[in-house]
Amino acid sequence: MMLDEFPSSPADLILWGLIATIVMTSVLEGSRGFGFSRMSLPFLVGMFFIGSRRWALILGLLAYTIGGWLFAFLYYFLFASVGIYTWWFGALIGALHGVFLLVAALPLLPFVHPRMASEYHGLTSMRQLEPPGFLALNYGYGTPVTTLLGQTLYGITLGGFLQLQIVIRA
């Protein structure tokens, strides 16, 4: 299937990008509520822009949702580039995304986040957030598992939607 034969409209992509983001965020924030992790990605994103912890969560959730929509388009282009539109390929993409997030992106966050301490420099009056560390283990031993689960479910949701669209149109 070529990119011009893409099985979905932009409105569908926006809708399912939102649904996938809600699923992923629910798993990640739910894991925090149940004590499996202390990491809140919307909060970390929000604190990047504003120092108020209250407003950081609100702004962070908005920015995180927009980011989820943008990543949905990247996922869809990846589906189209290889011509595989299935839930299991979505799970694979999501799991790889989660591994990259845990192994590379989160450990680098202290070097770009204006309010996060690093593993090399402690807390200051400006940098009050704990760094995630490798696999985000500083936020709890359950963090890698719940992050991988959330990212994988994100990919499954998007891939499953595309697979369903193809079945319906067949």
What pTM, to 2 d.p., does this model score? 0.92
CA terminus-to-terminus distance, the chain: 13
The answer, yes or no, to whether residue 72 has pLDDT greater than 90, is yes
Both tokens of 132, joined, read 């995630």
- Write down the pLDDT at residue 5: 57
| Distance separating alpha carbons of residues 91 and 71, to the nearest angstrom | 14
| Distance separating alpha carbons of residues 137 and 145, to the nearest angstrom | 10
The answer, yes or no, to whether residue 169 has pLDDT greater than 60, is yes
| Cβ pair 162, 79 in contact under 8 A | yes
Domain boundaries defined on the chain = 7-169
Each residue's pLDDT tens digit, 124-134: 767 789 999 99
| Distance separating alpha carbons of residues 29 and 150, to the nearest angstrom | 10
| Distance separating alpha carbons of residues 113 and 75, to the nearest angstrom | 26
27-61: buried (b, 16+ CB within 10 Å) or exposed (e) per residue?
A: bbbebbeeebbebbbbbbbbbbeeeeeeebbebbb
Each residue's pLDDT tens digit, 38-54: 999 999 999 999 989 88
- Write down the pLDDT at residue 11: 85
Interval 57-71 mean pLDDT: 95
